[in-house]
Structure 1
């Protein structure tokens, strides 16, 4: 019998019959029935926590000193409704905000653009203007919270709107803490929410690096995201490899733009997915930290210890959630959060159990926050640093993930880096996704309630429903905003944005002045598109 493409690959689990006695991770790593000291790597490179190669964590005391930031990804409908959800989450013990934007905002479009009909406020909050950003953070002191923004192509605009609101609150930019995702490469590969071609988009990314180094020094300028690769169907090995490849591309682009690696690299952050195989996930996080430390020191010559540390946020796996028997997702999320903590995450978002069906209700969001608190205070995972270190199984898995991920990084390097390897990376992920589906279909991989332990009765919990009238109200607010401004000043500021795009200097000061003087997000992004053009994939 001929082997399938997946059976021939190192990074994709083979398709085997459900009665096959072998066990594989989703990366094709065969799991032995018993691990012994003979399975430990010949040279076990551990070091101490807080010291190179940081496999044991970026801080010496880890959670004994301070637990991870408990973020909850939230935002929907209007800025007012999102503000109410943010306050609710903080009141339940959340320690950071993670801002979800609707699709029009992610694409740099105003809500009144004809393309946006029916999408305004659906998958996140609509932020068209500085007024929207003011409302979203009304009553939330920006010097006391850390805010993560899941925004990419228009990331510079959203950061600057946040900075402007901070200024109005009297908060110096030097005190603002948070992250803009700002990872455009994964948009071309996994999500599709891009605006401009890769080259000018990379320029905007590195301009944000430079701007924050000077003006917003505590801000994490990029969250290099493997999360979306995993959501699209890649394996754990591919997640590590392709995420680090993106990181390499951003570091090289910043160096090429004249930035000093030891100055900008400490503000780079990463964003990983949490899946159900606890042991593979723990090994994945540990391998990624060790690999990044060597990449930064040996490839880019970093000497600043903070430039070599891989600090990351984890979100539990959206793609693992099931619409069938949705309360089972509470257990899945708890396992995934536990794995992230045992792997040394710096912040964590736990999904609502109902998110396979809709945006999370307040009840689901509260359970998700409480899940993190149970892990922090009842599981024992936060009591000691790197609790799985030295395990025959974990150290073998860590070494195997690193070896296989390095093979993929070498291949991407041969193709000229991530910007030139988009088609290759996309093909690899697509093949892995096919393998997932086949394993579920054949019963090789069991999903409780989906292909085993099914129930005839369908459970449909109470769901969050976005009021359809919220879109009309947003359009009315936007129309009033655009009518109540100095139109000539706005047009002058937009032309200054175009001039900045045509030049080589940092673009963010011109963008900031346009937004301050009441240009909308869509108008600013449109002005840049006039110069940069629009990206159209060729594959």
Structure 2
């Protein structure tokens, strides 16, 4: 620039004033290494799945929101669980106080799962469940419910997040130490490849790494490094990469820097294709990176919240231009509370307007050939590769997390970003520039503490009416299986079908694995 000023992306990649060199990229969409998209026809053939992440209070309340979203045209459900459910405590546990039903729905047993999906045929919908430490237990409940509905398990489709490595690095809802946690994950891979072959057994998540303050490059690098660790763990268990890799999916964040985000998605596909190939994947399905995107929760501002509609709109557009398979758009009021019905509807309409009115779905990969986008993709890949090589040298993601390396890198990036905002070097509209006086926000969504009392009464009733001897036997069998190398999924399924609670099942595993 004339004034010699440097402009950089949020990851510190310098942006040139003009790009004049074409990339050497020659492959077509749907061809290895899939930089341009995983399908030849992309959205001309099928739009991305429009999901709205929802779950709060009791199963009944969340069920009403699901029916509302389905009536508004959402094409996939996405379940948020409350904190006690995420860390393996029943609602009546002393650790659950003040948290029941707050950041998601409370699920204590198969009874709650039955209520959550009342009137919804599981075989006819795809469901994404944002759950990690207790993912195998919640999946077992979902399968048990599908069986009760008479569903063909071979047709059941959806995703569990089941990504414990990023919990240690960025989010914190782990229960067991890394080794037994990795065993649970590979048990799910093995079980589902035989019994529920259409189920995505893990959603390797960069989203929470980014929410914790990482840069786009760090999100890309740490997510793929975690993905590599899961591939290697499954290979060590003797699983066939061409069988299990097609059921791995990814979950990325989409932030405000429009072109950086698009380049991140393109680079991710290309890097994963080479990574899987190097580890022995021979089929295109095993080499393709399929991903869900959520717009950036941490980019939403409590100040002038209607501005978030514009932020979410441009983030959603970047995700679509980046080739996402599934998308959740945040509600404009989520910096203040759980989204109201109106906010959830506007968020869904944002996706529908992009899909049906913008024209970006009319051609495959509309940004291909952009000197800027292709150069930026190359630079994102090169910068991410430096991190991945460093993690490989440490012995992989598990070792890097145990040495606190990934956590420290995220913390450093987060600190730098916040300093830039506070010094005014990075403009956040309505926060550090174009600020105005605002009235308190009246219309925010609140979950009442009475939910805990309801859930506790429901648990008491369940324990008085189920076959407690059968539950005890199931939990003993589960503990014994955990002590040897048997696949734990059949034992989890048996326990929840007999109405063992989430906390009882998690405790049976705590007895063997301990807590981290």
1:169 to 137, 149, 157: 149
Q: Tell me if the contact between 2:295 and 2:312 (Cα under 8 Å) persists in the aligned partners.
A: yes
Q: In the alignment, which residue of structure 1 is the partner of 2:480? A: 499
What is the aligned counterpart of 2:464 among 477, 480, 483?
A: 483
The separation in 2 between residues aligned to 1:492 and 1:144, in whole angstroms, is: 34
1:222 aligns with 2:202: yes
Q: How many residues align?
A: 512
4+ runs of 1 displaced by more than 3 Å? none
1:226-276: CA deviation from partner (whole Å, max 9, x where unpaired): 000000010111011000000000000000011000000000000000001
Q: Return the alpha-carbon distance in structure 1 between the equivalents of residues 182 and 210 of structure 2.
A: 23
Q: Does 1:209 align with 2:189?
A: yes
- Distance in 2 (CA, whole Å) between partners of 1:296 and 1:154 is 27
Alpha-carbon deviation of 1:45?
Answer: 2.8
Query: Offset of 1:359 from its aligned partner?
Result: 0.4
Relative to structure 1, is the Cα distance of residues 20 and 534 closer, same or farther in structure 2, using a 3 angstrom cutoff?
farther
* Alignment equivalent of 1:238, drawn from 210, 215, 218: 218
Q: How does 1:279-290 map to 2 (within 5 A)?
A: 279-290=259-270
**1:34: which partner in 2?**
18
The match for 2:411 is 430
Aligned to 1:456: 437
Matches within 5 A, 1:301-320: 301-320=280-299
Matched residue of 2:78: which SS?
strand
Q: Give the one of 254, 259, 272 matched to 1:292.
A: 272
SS at match of 1:273: strand
Are 1:324 and 1:459, in contact at CA under 8 Å, matched by a contact in 2? no
> In the superposition, relative to structure 1, how do residues 461 and 447 fare at CA in structure 2: closer, same or farther (>3 Å)?
farther
1:95-122 Cα shifts (integer Å, max 9, x gaps): 0000000000000111111000010000
Alignment correspondent of 1:447: 428
The whole-number CA distance in structure 1 between the counterparts of 2:316 and 2:351 is: 7
Q: Report the 3-state secondary structure (helix = DSSP H, G, I; strand = E; otherwise coil) of the residue aligned with 2:419.
A: helix
Shift of 1:467: 2.3
Q: For residue 124 of structure 1, what is the aligned residue in structure 2?
A: 104
Contact persistence 1:46–1:53 (CA under 8 A): no
C-alpha separation between the residues in 1 aligned to 2:120 and 2:63?
9
Partner residue of 1:86?
66
Mapped contact 2:100–2:449 kept (Cα < 8 A): no
Deviation at 1:459, TM superposition (A): 5.3
Q: Partners of 2:442 and 2:177 in 1: how far apart?
A: 42
Structure 1 partner of 2:122: 142
Which residue is 2:498 aligned to? Answer: 517
1:383 aligned residue: 362
Following the alignment from structure 1 to structure 2, what is the Cα–Cα distance between the partners of residues 302 and 459? 55
The reply to whether residue 363 of structure 1 matches residue 342 of structure 2 is yes
Task: State whether structure 2 residue 248 is matched by structure 1 residue 268.
Answer: yes
Taking only aligned residues, the RMSD between alpha carbons, in angstroms, comes to 1.0
Tell me by how many angstroms 1:20 deviates. Answer: 7.9
Go from structure 1 to structure 2 and tell me whether the alpha carbon gap of 1:492 and 1:442 turns closer, same or farther (over 3 Å shift): same
TM-score (norm 2): 0.98
Note if contact 1:325-1:458 (Cα within 8 Å) is conserved in structure 2: no
CA distance in 2, matches of 1:459, 1:354: 13
Q: After TM superposition, give the deviation of residue 46 of structure 1 in Å.
A: 4.2
SS at match of 1:381: coil
- Distance in 1, matches of 2:58 and 2:26, equals 48
Answer yes or no: is the 8 Å Cα contact 1:325–1:459 preserved in 2.
no
Aligned match of 2:8:
24
Secondary structure of the residue that 2:372 maps to in structure 1? helix
Match of 1:372 in 2: 351
> CA–CA distance in 2 between the matches of 1:327 and 1:342?
24
Q: CA deviation at 1:326?
A: 0.2
Give, in angstroms, the shift of residue 304 of structure 1. Answer: 1.2
- Give the Å deviation of 1:21: 2.2
> TM-score, normalised to structure 1's length?
0.94
Taking the aligned partners of 1:461 and 1:48, their CA distance within structure 2 comes to 51
Structure 2 segments unaligned to the other structure (5+ residues): none
Give the one of 138, 153, 156 matched to 2:133.
153
Aligned residue for 1:30, secondary structure, equals coil
Deviations 1:184-209 (A, max 9, x none): 00000001000000000000000000
3-state SS, counterpart of residue 371 of structure 1: helix
Match of 1:346 among 322, 325, 342: 325
Native 8 Å contact 1:278 1:335 kept in 2: yes
**Corresponding residue to 1:410 among 372, 386, 389:** 389
* C-alpha spacing 1:20/1:445, structure 2 compared with 1 (3 Å): farther
Q: Which consecutive unaligned segments of at least 5 residues does structure 1 have? A: 1-18
